[in-house]
Amino acid sequence: MRTKLLFAMAASAAALMGASAAQSAELHFIRCGDNGLDQDRKVIAAFEEKFPGNTVNMESLPWGTCQDKSLKLASAGSPPSVSYMGSRTLKQLADNNLVVDVKISEDQQKAYQPGVLNTVSYRDKFWGFPRAFSTKGLFLNCDIFEEAGLACEAPKTWDEMYTAAKAIKDKTGKAGVGLAGKDFDNTMHQFLNYLYSNGGQVIDPSTNEITLNSQNTLETLKFYGKLVDVAQDGPTAFERTQVRDLFNDNKVGMYIDGPWARGQHKEGITTKVAPIPAGPNGVSGTLLITDSLAVFKGSGHEELAMEFARMMTSGESQYTLDSPDGWGLTPILKYEELGWEKPFYKDDPYWAVFVDSIPTGGPEPLFVDYKAMQTTINSMIQGIILKDDTAENLVAIAAEELEEFK
């Protein structure tokens, strides 16, 4: 009896606090990285002006911890109002009733690049405002191609890619291709670029059926196994950023990275970027990844929070983030249709590689237990890299394990 009474008191107290928050709320906003802080502050100022009496407490955390912190706060019952989350986690958050579905206007929906909204859709609702978007391209180090006596021409197929990589390995002793194989999200991401370029899929979003165990996956995994022999030693110790370090150090001929990579390549290296080579059973594809601003349930001011997230992810604010002055991302909105006369990617062959591949791209697979899925896929990839098992067995085992996490 007594505990019930206590609960009732606590609940009414919370309700009171919630009511007062509606009048003057302090939004807790968690964001990642320290790039673009000023731009976010501008949006916060605009928001506070538009909704007087309300404030935004912005917490900027390192990339490695920002999302976990939000999850921990949410599972502890004191969620942030708005938080930057990988869109892949939205399914899990929605299923566990931790985030609210967000309303995106018809006009805004139309302005998104194709495929973007798929990454935040689940059960016919949107579970976050798409915030950051990326597609991938294959970067070539032309100096190494030249050293190997090759013309710096982008391989269009896997066969061409392997031939070039092997030539580099044989002629220069350097790695033809750089592979990421550490148990990190990017290892799976890199693999999915190849899988999507070979017509493969992990899960069918419409039926929620695991489709990994296919000829397409098998071919992709085998190709990966082949690439290992012409890649840098020990891919399982590498994340993408470390592969980039090797590329910058003239030790790797080719690797896959996002559009931001141009700004991170060492000066003096001649590079070239091209779409991901096509596999025998597909056309050049790419992984479409988005991160979103998710609105957490239980802050007591979800509507206001949604308003804030909407301001963050639209118009000038979003454009600034996408542009090379911001994070240098694949444009998430079709800015040319929104009134920008010459958005940064227009008529630029570099950006064409990343923008043109959007229609043939595939989403991050949405799983309820995303981390477990990632671990399973990574284990499959590491399996072929370490030659632990046959590709057939690795794919079959992974597909079976995935059933538990979908």
Q: Which residues make up the interface to another protein (CB under 8 A)?
A: 68, 71, 74-75, 92, 95-98, 173, 181-183, 232-238, 246, 249, 251, 369, 371-372, 375, 379, 382-383, 385-386, 388
Nearer residue to another protein within complex by CB, 52 or 173 = 173
* Residues 60 and 31: beta-carbon distance below 8 Å: yes
Rounded least distance, CB 275 to another protein, Å: 28
Rounded least distance, CB 218 to another protein, Å: 19
Nearer residue to another protein within complex by CB, 311 or 373 = 373
Rounded least distance, CB 123 to another protein, Å: 16
Nearer residue to another protein within complex by CB, 276 or 373 = 373
Nearest to 226 by CA among 152, 284, 271, 277: 277
Q: Are strands 26-32 and 82-86 parallel, antiparallel or unpaired?
A: parallel
Nearer residue to another protein within complex by CB, 104 or 294 = 294
Nearer residue to another protein within complex by CB, 182 or 262 = 182
Rounded least distance, CB 173 to another protein, Å: 7
Rounded least distance, CB 240 to another protein, Å: 15
Rounded least distance, CB 234 to another protein, Å: 2
Nearer residue to another protein within complex by CB, 333 or 381 = 381
Rounded least distance, CB 72 to another protein, Å: 8
Which residue carries 């595939």 as its tokens? 362
Q: Tell me the backbone φ, ψ of residue 85, rounded to 5 degrees.
A: -135, 150
Nearer residue to another protein within complex by CB, 181 or 199 = 181
Nearer residue to another protein within complex by CB, 71 or 321 = 71
Which residue carries 């477990």 as its tokens? 372
Rounded least distance, CB 75 to another protein, Å: 5
Nearer residue to another protein within complex by CB, 249 or 400 = 249
Rounded least distance, CB 236 to another protein, Å: 4
Which residue carries 């002629």 as its tokens? 171
